[in-house]
Amino acid sequence: MEHALGPGAEFDAVRRLVRGWGDLAAGIGDDAAVLDVPPGERLVVSTDASVERVHFRREWLTPAQIGARATTSALSDLAAMGAAALGIVVALVVPAAWRPDLDAVAAGIGEAVAAAGTRIVGGDMSSGAELSITVTVFGTAARPVTRAGAQVGDDVFVTGLLGGPLLALRALQRGEEPTHRAHRLAFAAPVARLGEGRWLAARGATAMIDVSDGLAADLRHVAAASGVRLRVELGALPRVAGASPLDALASGEEYALAACVPPGAVDVTAFEQAFSTSLTRIGTVEAAVPGGTLVVVDDAGGRVDLPPGHDHFSS
């Protein structure tokens, strides 16, 4: 339950949001949140800012989707560590033009928190020029899985079907509605794969990452951190209808998980039954060689040229 908050328009807004969140909000109103870490586990923390016109456009998403997406992208980083969510804190910068939609943004944040089975334990609100949603997530894991543990000989797996967000984005940029509902959904309502991440971690995953910049770019991060090269088979890439294998490599904000796993460690059928989403072996971990951390090969074994990943500071 919330503590009593003082008077004023800002606190009125906070009270309204907390009331809207109901049981999803806990312990709000003190100077700081207090969280228990289970004995033998470690605290896993990540923060993620979503800024209007940088990470989202008001024309393409509802206010609730904007709130949910910002929260999911932060929670997805816990999934990538194999952590269970303990709680989140949310810092909102709200321009005057967004005030009428604030409750809807908050409802979206609540939806993502409910989907992850976690709660909102604190936050902050201020006015400003652009809507900005910064979500800090706290989780715990007995053995957090970093990007750095991939071993030569591991298999590389990815969850779900890739390409939907990129196809949706392309359609929206042309001023069209995405042709497939699944593409639109993957773009507007992504899911943080927390259960999947813990499942993979429990089966000995050596390295994991969530696909946010695009699979090719994110696999390069894993390879670089682990000091290995990843070999991916183009034809094996799981993709949504209408997406090419190169689309699957380039599509960002997927929030699928890519994992390196010792050979034979995962039962794909058991995973797919548990999560109603696919798990696909797409390649292997090789020893590092000069001149590249990722090689993608076609069916004939020829090297495929790769699309560049997303880089906020590239232009």
Q: Which residues lie near Mg ion (CB under 5 A)?
A: 77, 210
State in angstroms the smallest separation of the CB of 80 from Mg ion: 5
The torsion angles phi and psi of 62, rounded to 5 degrees, stand at -75, 160
Of residues 75 and 279, the one with the C-beta less far from Mg ion: 75
The SS3 of residue 303 is: strand
CA distance 66 to 69: 5
Contact by Cβ (8 Å): 224, 232: no
Of residues 77 and 233, the one with the C-beta less far from Mg ion: 77
Write down the residue that tokens 């995973």 correspond to: 271
Contact by Cβ (8 Å): 240, 164: yes
Give all strands of the β-sheet with 294-297 in edge-to-edge order.
Answer: 207-210, 257-261, 155-159, 279-287, 228-233, 294-297
Of residues 77 and 247, the one with the C-beta less far from Mg ion: 77
Amino acid, single-letter form, for residue 225: A
Of residues 210 and 233, the one with the C-beta less far from Mg ion: 210
The CA-CA-CA angle for residues 81, 64, 31, to 5°, reads 65
Of residues 18 and 216, the one with the C-beta less far from Mg ion: 216
User: DSSP states of 53-114 as a string?
Assistant: TTTB-TTTS-HHHHHHHHHHHHHHHHHHTTPEEEEEEEEEE--GGGGGGHHHHHHHHHHHHH
CA distance 95 to 64: 16
Of residues 210 and 253, the one with the C-beta less far from Mg ion: 210
State in angstroms the smallest separation of the CB of 133 from Mg ion: 17
State in angstroms the smallest separation of the CB of 103 from Mg ion: 29
State in angstroms the smallest separation of the CB of 213 from Mg ion: 8
State in angstroms the smallest separation of the CB of 13 from Mg ion: 30
State in angstroms the smallest separation of the CB of 195 from Mg ion: 17
State in angstroms the smallest separation of the CB of 301 from Mg ion: 31
Contact by Cβ (8 Å): 280, 163: no
Of residues 52 and 210, the one with the C-beta less far from Mg ion: 210
Burial class (CB in 10 A: 0-12, 13-18, 19+), 146: middle
Of residues 234 and 258, the one with the C-beta less far from Mg ion: 258
Give all strands of the β-sheet with 120-126 in edge-to-edge order.
Answer: 42-51, 132-141, 84-93, 120-126
State in angstroms the smallest separation of the CB of 88 from Mg ion: 15
